[in-house]
Amino acid sequence: MIAAGFGFRGAATVESLRDALERAAVGHRVTLLAAPADKADAAALRSLAGALGVPVIAVAAGDLAATDTPSRSARVLAARGTGCVAEAAALVAAGGGGPARLLGPRVVSADRLATCAIAVGAIAVTGASP
């Protein structure tokens, strides 16, 4: 599973999110988008998800705060309890309770209204022989 985690301002447009995604995903096709629960229903995010044909995962505030990230913003840490919303959202969504890893640090859209990070999680294979 490949998750694109987002952090974004209220003024972010679908173009802001798409730009951040394209800068972060380079060569990877994401299977889901993730954002903090209080922003998961944003029209721009839902529009991007619809265009890509992928679901949006709402990440709970407690899960964001419990996730350590390589990028660290004092402002984001004070507001959200994690160093980077995009990285934390991606890790939580890709992990699904299991291990996940970032493909790189978060990137910022050209208009500076959105950030995106890509995380890859292990996919359990059922029915496989030992």
- DSSP sequence for 78-98: HHHSSS-HHHHHHHHHHHTTS
Task: Confirm whether pTM is higher than 0.75.
Answer: yes
Cβ proximity of 4 and 115 under 8 Å: no
Give 27-39 pLDDT, tens digit per residue: 899 999 999 999 9
Give 99-122 pLDDT, tens digit per residue: 899 999 999 999 999 999 999 987
Q: Where are the domains of the chain?
A: 2-117
Confidence of residue 125 (pLDDT cuts 50, 70, 90): very low
Confidence of residue 83 (pLDDT cuts 50, 70, 90): confident
CATH of domain 2-117: 3.30.420.180
